[in-house]
A and B are shown apart, each in its own frame.
Chain A
Amino acid sequence: MTPRLHDYVLSASCYKVRLMAALVGVRLDLVAVDFHPGREHKGPAFRALNPAGTLPVLETGELVLTESTAMLVWLAQGHPGWTGDGSRSAAAQVQQWLAFSARLAASLGMARLHDMLHFPADIDGCRLAGIDCLREVEAHLFEARLAGRLFLTGDRPTIADIACFPNVALAPDGGVGLEPYPGIRLWMRAIRSLPGFIEMPGIHRLHELRPAPERGAA
């Protein structure tokens, strides 16, 4: 079957999965869930699918996955490179950043849900924790760049980059500016340049890659 993603367009975690699928050329059946304001994911029908009442949910035909990082692993299977170069060190580093992406969701992601959808949160604490995360990413990317690497775990993108990218790129929605992070800016640009990249509200593709409008073609 075509894998079915229970999806909310403004969710960073749902976008991770849509983006990964687009990058590896897997078609998804999207089922729009009325996350806000309907809270459909907290209703009995949705909880029958995912008792935790969280989005996204991916039905593969064989499995029902409720963690976006597991969905990235599932989608990347059979697409060499996206889970690392096969080495022990790459495999461990990918896991390191998949776990780190949960910190991004709990800090920058929560600040964004607070500001956009009025989720209750310790907003100052979320933003400070988010800045700590961004500083870690920036310092890591600086050292990676010294070694000639553009992405988190190597010279090509993996599921680690896709897991971390959305909540970093959407940080301004939660009141955390990205101005002070030149390394993150170049990394985000590299991800947005990937063939097959798709957008979500708040994350645009590189406009310069589109042809300029024809002069005179109104």
Chain B
Amino acid sequence: MKTGGRVTNWVANGLSRDVVAGVVVPGRWQGVDLAIWRSATGVLRAWKDRCPHRGMRLSHGFVRGEGLSCIYHGWTYGTDGRCRSIPAHPDLVPPAAIRAEALDCAEADGVIWVAGAGEAGPLPAVTGLVPLRSLALHALPGQIAAALPGLRLFPGGLRGVVVLGGIQTSLCLLLQELARGQTMIHALCGPQDDPVAVSRGLEDLRRSIEQGVAA
């Protein structure tokens, strides 16, 4: 996202606690669909959402131990991306060239970040805040920013002190563009802020932004 002249390739793709060990979830980075998964021991990976075999979405697959298995024919990929096993040919050692396409993926302050492989700079800092929740809006990032003049742009999203849900809160909204004009907001708030009040405030905010977009 390009903000205030600075550019970062990192895009927030969720909150760490929503991607528990042993799950795979869909993600998105600059128009590319992703499969984000966490192994049984906690290793997090972000891959293109495309099985090297026949292109099935890997986000529809499942995690078993330290591997991600495709739902279609069960090809299984290790955390290094390499295909480990092909159920239809159990005695075959899969060629090294068969591998999932990885993006860079990092976690800090309870946020999952994704960037294009090898092209990422430092992670946007959201220190001092606590992860709240993620929610999608039918609006573009620019429309969200325009609705919140009290927040300032920073690499990765919007940040500032606003009154939300009747209380003053330190709010950070990390913005992730989804398909079809939707944006995912990954919200963080101050450690002392009432999470229920901020969550309900975000619901109100979503209603008013979507009404503005529809009008």
Residues of A within 8 A of B (CB): 135, 138-139, 142-143, 146, 179-180, 182-183, 185-186, 189, 206-208, 212-218
- Do residues B135 and A207 form an inter-chain contact, with CB atoms below 8 A? no
Instruction: Give the distance to chain A from B59, nearest Cβ to Cβ, in Å.
Output: 9
Contact of B195 among A146, A183, A213 (CB under 8 A): A146
Whether A179 contacts B26 in the complex (CB less than 8 A), given A143-B196, A207-B62, comes out as yes
Which B10-62 residues have a C-beta within 8 angstroms of A?
Answer: 14-15, 18-20, 22-23, 25-26, 62
Chain A facing B: main interface SS: helix
Cβ A182 vs Cβ B14 within 8 A: yes
- 6 interchain pairs (CB within 8 A)? A146-B195, A180-B136, A182-B15, A185-B18, A207-B64, A216-B91
Partner of B25 from the list A183, A185, A216, A218 (CB cut-off 8 Å) is A185
- Which residues of B are found within 8 Å of A142, using beta-carbon distances? 133, 199
B64 neighbours in A (Cβ, 8 Å): 207-208, 212
Contact among A143, A180, A206, A213 for B87, CB-based, below 8 A: A213
B101 within 8 Å of A (CB atoms): no
Question: What separation, in Å, do the CA atoms of A19 and B197 have in the docked complex?
Answer: 36
Task: Say what secondary structure dominates the interface of chain B.
Answer: mixed
Number of A-B contacts (CB under 8 A): 56
Considering only CB atoms and an 8 Å cut-off, how many residues of chain B contact the other chain?
A: 31
17 new A-B contacts, CB < 8 A, other than A179-B178, A180-B178, A182-B19, are A135-B203, A139-B200, A142-B199, A146-B196, A182-B15, A182-B18, A182-B25, A182-B133, A182-B134, A208-B22, A208-B63, A208-B64, A212-B64, A213-B90, A214-B90, A215-B85, A218-B90
Scan residues 134-179 of chain B and give those whose CB is less than 8 A from a CB of chain A: 134-136, 178
- CA A214 – CA B74 in complex, angstroms? 13
A146 and B62 CA atoms in complex are apart in Å by 27
| Nearest chain B residue, comparing its CB with the CB of A178 | B26
At the interface, yes or no: B208 with Cβ under 8 Å from chain A?
Answer: no
Is residue B111 within 8 Å, beta carbon to beta carbon, of the partner chain? no
Cβ 8 A contact of A138, one of B15, B62, B135, B182: B135
Are B14 and A143 within 8 A (Cβ)? no
Closest beta carbon of chain A to B213's beta carbon, Å: 14
Kindly list chain A residues whose C-beta atoms are within 8 Å of the C-beta of B19.
Answer: 182
What CA separation (Å) do A124 and B199 show in the bound complex? 27
Q: Identify the 4 closest CB pairs spanning chains A and B, nearest first.
A: A180-B136, A182-B18, A207-B62, A208-B64
B205 interface residue per 8 A CB criterion: no
